[in-house]
C-alpha cells in the first residue's frame, strides 16, 4: 500500500519532523517515489499524474476506513479499501501567519466521528462540488482525473481559491488546491474562508457531497485553530497577560506614607523615585480611587525648569536581571493630564549604544491615555530606567498601571495579588513604624550598670544588598539606654542596649511613630 503525504521543513503539532515541499506518492516499504504523483490542475481538480489504478471512469474519492483513517480510494466496486492510499495531512506550521501560510497542510482531526467504512459508505459518483455550493449534479463525480502536466511538481501554497466574484469556490473545499502562481488571491481566499467556516464540525455524517464539505471544513477548522493558538511575541495583542518586571507597577503600595514627597531622589510610592532637573519642583502623593479602574494612583504637581521625572531603575546586576541584556523590552503606563505636550513615558538604558527613548506626548485632553515605548537593551547595559512620567512642562498629572515586559509588544497592566505585590516591595524597603503592637523590643537582665544585652531583627524579605538599618523615634526604656543598631546583612540585623543598674531591663517601640526601617537600594 502506498502512502501519499505532504512534506515541508516544519514540525507538526506533535513535533514530528516534516521535510521537503511537494506532494508525492511514496512506497512505505522502501521510501522510494513511485511513478504516481498527486497534484492539482489549474482547474482546481485533484488528479493523479502517471495515475494509479482507478475505476472504470477514472474517478476516486476520500472515505473513512474501519481504523478511522482518511483514505483515497481508486477502485470502482463500492469504493472498497483495496488498492488504496493513506493520506497524511499534517497540522500546519503554527509559527506561520494565517493569510499566507495556511498552505498545503490540512489539520488532522483527532477523531472525526466514530463511524465505520460501511457506515460512511461510498462517495456517490453522481455528486460533485458545484461552483457556488455543494450540490448533487451528474456522473462527472466529485473529483476527476486529468492528464499529467507541468503542475505535477507544484508546491502546495494554499488550500482554497477565490474566484473572480470574491466568494469561495465550493469545489476547492473538496480538493487540495496548489497554486504558487496565485499567492495573493489565495491568501485573500484563505482569510475569506476562515471568516465563513464558523464553528467546528467533527462528524463525517453520511458521505454525500454535503458530508464531504463538512469533513473538509472540519479539517480547515483544526488547521486554523493550530495556527491561531500559537504566537510569537510580535503577534501578541496588548491584552495577552505577561509578567511585569516592575515593582509596584500599580502604585498601590506606599510604605513611607501617602505624601507629599518633594526632595530630589526621594521615594514616594515604593520603588518610584523623584528626579528633578535644574530648579524644577514637584509634589508627589497618593491619589485615591481615581484611576482607569477606580484604583489608587500616583499624583504629581510639577513646576518646570529642566526636564524631570518620576522613575524606577532596574539594576541588572544586583537585581538579577542580566538576562535582559540584548533583549527587546516594552514599557507602558496610563497617564492623565490637562496640559498638552507636558508629560510622556520614556525608557533610558546605559551601556554601549544606550539612550533615552520616548513615547508620544499625552494630548492634554484630561483623559486617561495609555502611552508606550519599546527599546532594545544594549549587551553591556547595567541599568534600565523607566520614566512613568517624563516631564517637560509645568502640569498636574496622574500615573497608573505601569508595565515593563520582554518583547516588542507593550502589554496591558496585569495586577499582582496584593501579597505578591507587597513581597516585591519588601525586598527593597520595610518598616515597623505604624505598628501599634509595641515591637520590636529587647529584654534583658544585668548584674549591674553597663551590662549589654540585645537581639536579632529578621527581615520580612531577603534584601538585594546589605541595607541601611535605622531606628525611628524615641523608644520607651526601663533600666536601660536607647537601643543601638549594630551590623546589618541581607537577611537580618542586630541591635542592643546597656543596663543602667542591676536587674531586669526592657526597651520597646511603644507608639506608632516608633520602630525601625530597613532600606536596600541597589
Task: List the chain pLDDT tens, one digit each, 522 residues.
Answer: 333 332 222 333 454 443 332 334 444 444 444 444 443 333 333 343 333 344 444 444 444 444 444 444 444 333 333 333 333 333 233 322 222 222 333 332 333 333 333 333 333 333 333 333 333 323 332 332 333 333 333 233 333 333 333 333 333 333 333 322 333 334 443 333 333 333 232 332 334 555 566 767 777 777 666 655 555 555 555 555 568 899 999 999 999 999 899 999 999 999 999 999 999 999 999 999 888 888 899 999 999 999 999 999 999 888 888 888 999 999 999 999 999 999 999 999 999 999 999 999 999 999 999 999 999 999 999 999 999 999 999 999 999 999 999 988 888 888 888 999 999 999 999 999 888 777 888 999 988 999 999 999 999 999 999 999 999 999 999 999 999 988 899 999 999 999 999 999 999 998 888 999 999 988
pLDDT on residue 423: 93
Domain assignment present for residue 82? The answer is yes
Report the phi/psi class of residue 198: left, alpha or beta, with left for phi > 0 and alpha for psi in -120 to 50.
left
| Contact predicate 376/343, CB 8 Å | no
Domain assignment present for residue 54? The answer is yes
Q: State the CATH number of the domain containing residue 306.
A: 2.60.120.260
Same domain, yes or no: 124 and 218: yes
Nine cell digits for residue 344 = 510622556
Domain assignment present for residue 258? The answer is no
Residue found under cell 506550521: 93
Same domain, yes or no: 196 and 340: no
Strands (E) across 123-277 are located at: 127-130, 133-136, 273-277
Domain assignment present for residue 128? The answer is yes
| Contact predicate 486/497, CB 8 Å | no
Same domain, yes or no: 413 and 502: no
Same domain, yes or no: 146 and 192: yes
Q: State the CATH number of the domain containing residue 514.
A: 2.60.40
Same domain, yes or no: 288 and 208: no
Domain assignment present for residue 237? The answer is no
Query: In a 3-state reduction of DSSP, which class is residue 181?
Result: helix
HSE (CB half, 13 Å, CA atoms) of 62?
27
Task: Select from 208, 228, 248 the last residue of a domain.
Answer: 228
Q: What burial class does residue 15 get, using C-beta atoms within 10 Å of its C-beta: 0-12 exposed, 13-18 middle, 19+ buried?
A: exposed
**Tens-place pLDDT, residues 341-361:** 999 999 999 999 999 999 999
Domain assignment present for residue 268? The answer is no
Same domain, yes or no: 62 and 211: yes
Task: Select from 212, 228, 244 the last residue of a domain.
Answer: 228
Same domain, yes or no: 325 and 438: no
Question: What long-range pairs does 114-118 form, CB within 8 A, spacing at least 24?
Answer: 114/68, 115/64, 115/68, 115/204, 116/64, 116/66, 117/63, 117/64, 117/65, 117/66, 117/81
**Tens-place pLDDT, residues 179-222:** 223 333 344 433 333 333 332 323 323 345 555 667 677 777 77
Domain assignment present for residue 247? The answer is no
Say if pTM beats, i.e. exceeds, 0.75: no
499 is in which domain, residue-wise?
429-519
**Which DSSP letter does residue 487 get?**
E
d(CA 398, CA 139): 74
**Residue 297 — φ and ψ, nearest 5°?**
-135, 170
User: How far, CA to CA in Å, does 168 sit from each of 44, 101, 172, 186, 362?
Assistant: 12, 18, 8, 10, 45
Number of domains making up the chain: 3
Spell out the SS3 assignment of 419-463. Answer: HHHHHHHHCCEEECCCCCCCCCEEEEEECCCCCEEEEEEECCCCC
Same domain, yes or no: 402 and 434: no
Domain assignment present for residue 257? The answer is no
Same domain, yes or no: 83 and 199: yes
pLDDT on residue 226: 61
Same domain, yes or no: 297 and 183: no
Same domain, yes or no: 127 and 222: yes
pLDDT on residue 337: 96
Same domain, yes or no: 451 and 415: no
Amino acid at each position: 500500500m502506498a502512502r501519499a503525504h505532504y512534506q515541508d521543513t516544519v514540525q507538526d503539532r506533535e513535533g514530528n519532523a516534516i521535510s521537503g515541499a511537494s506532494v508525492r506518492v511514496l512506497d512505505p516499504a522502501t521510501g522510494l517515489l513511485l511513478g504516481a504523483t498527486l497534484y492539482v490542475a489549474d482547474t482546481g481538480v485533484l488528479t493523479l499524474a502517471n495515475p494509479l489504478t482507478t475505476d472504470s471512469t477514472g474517478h476516486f474519492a476520500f472515505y473513512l476506513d474501519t481504523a478511522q483513517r482518511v483514505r483515497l480510494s481508486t477502485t470502482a466496486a463500492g469504493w472498497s479499501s483495496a488498492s488504496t492510499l493513506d493520506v497524511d495531512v499534517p497540522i500546519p506550521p503554527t509559527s506561520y501567519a494565517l493569510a499566507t501560510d495556511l498552505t498545503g497542510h490540512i489539520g488532522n482531526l483527532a477523531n472525526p466521528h466514530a463511524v465505520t467504512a460501511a457506515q460512511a459508505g461510498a462517495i456517490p459518483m453522481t455528486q460533485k462540488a458545484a461552483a457556488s455550493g455543494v450540490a448533487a449534479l451528474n456522473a462527472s463525480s466529485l473529483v476527476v482525473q486529468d492528464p499529467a502536466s507541468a503542475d505535477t511538481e507544484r508546491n502546495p501554497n494554499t488550500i482554497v481559491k477565490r474566484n473572480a466574484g470574491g466568494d469561495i469556490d465550493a469545489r476547492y473545499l473538496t480538493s487540495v488546491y496548489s497554486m504558487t502562481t496565485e499567492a495573493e488571491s489565495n491568501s485573500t481566499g484563505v482569510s475569506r474562508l476562515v471568516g465563513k467556516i464558523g464553528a467546528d464540525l467533527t462528524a463525517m455524517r453520511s458521505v454525500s457531497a454535503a458530508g464531504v464539505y463538512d469533513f473538509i471544513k472540519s479539517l480547515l477548522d483544526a488547521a486554523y485553530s493550530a495556527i491561531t493558538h500559537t504566537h510569537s511575541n510580535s503577534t501578541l495583542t496588548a491584552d495577552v497577560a505577561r509578567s511585569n518586571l516592575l515593582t509596584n507597577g500599580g502604585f498601590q503600595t506606599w510604605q513611607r506614607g501617602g505624601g507629599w514627597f518633594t526632595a530630589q531622589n526621594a521615594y514616594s510610592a515604593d520603588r518610584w523615585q523623584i528626579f528633578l532637573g535644574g530648579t524644577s519642583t514637584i509634589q508627589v502623593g497618593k491619589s485615591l480611587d481615581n484611576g482607569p479602574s477606580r484604583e489608587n494612583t500616583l499624583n504629581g504637581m510639577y513646576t518646570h525648569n529642566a526636564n524631570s521625572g518620576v522613575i524606577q531603575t532596574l539594576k541588572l546586576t544586583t537585581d538579577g536581571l542580566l538576562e535582559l541584556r540584548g533583549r527587546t523590552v516594552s514599557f507602558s503606563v496610563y497617564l492623565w493630564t490637562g496640559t498638552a505636550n507636558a508629560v510622556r513615558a520614556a525608557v533610558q538604558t546605559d551601556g554601549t549604544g544606550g539612550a533615552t527613548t520616548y513615547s508620544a506626548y499625552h494630548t492634554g485632553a484630561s483623559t486617561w491615555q495609555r502611552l508606550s515605548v519599546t527599546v532594545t537593551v544594549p549587551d553591556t547595559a547595567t541599568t534600565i530606567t523607566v520614566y512613568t512620567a517624563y516631564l517637560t512642562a509645568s502640569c498636574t498629572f496622574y500615573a497608573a498601571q505601569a508595565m515593563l515586559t520582554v518583547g516588542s509588544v507593550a502589554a496591558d497592566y496585569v495586577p499582582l495579588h496584593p501579597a505578591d505585590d507587597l513581597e516585591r516591595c519588601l525586598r527593597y524597603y520595610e518598616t515597623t513604624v505604624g505598628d501599634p503592637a509595641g515591637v520590636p523590643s529587647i529584654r534583658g537582665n544585668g548584674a549591674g550598670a553597663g551590662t549589654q544585652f540585645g537581639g536579632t531583627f529578621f527581615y520580612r524579605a531577603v534584601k538585594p544588598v546589605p541595607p541601611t538599618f535605622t531606628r525611628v523615634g524615641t523608644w520607651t526604656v526601663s533600666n536601660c539606654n536607647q537601643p543601638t543598631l549594630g551590623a546589618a546583612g541581607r537577611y537580618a540585623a542586630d541591635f542592643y542596649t546597656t543596663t543602667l543598674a542591676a536587674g531586669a531591663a526592657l526597651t520597646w517601640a511603644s507608639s506608632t511613630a516608633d520602630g525601625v526601617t530597613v532600606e536596600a537600594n541597589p
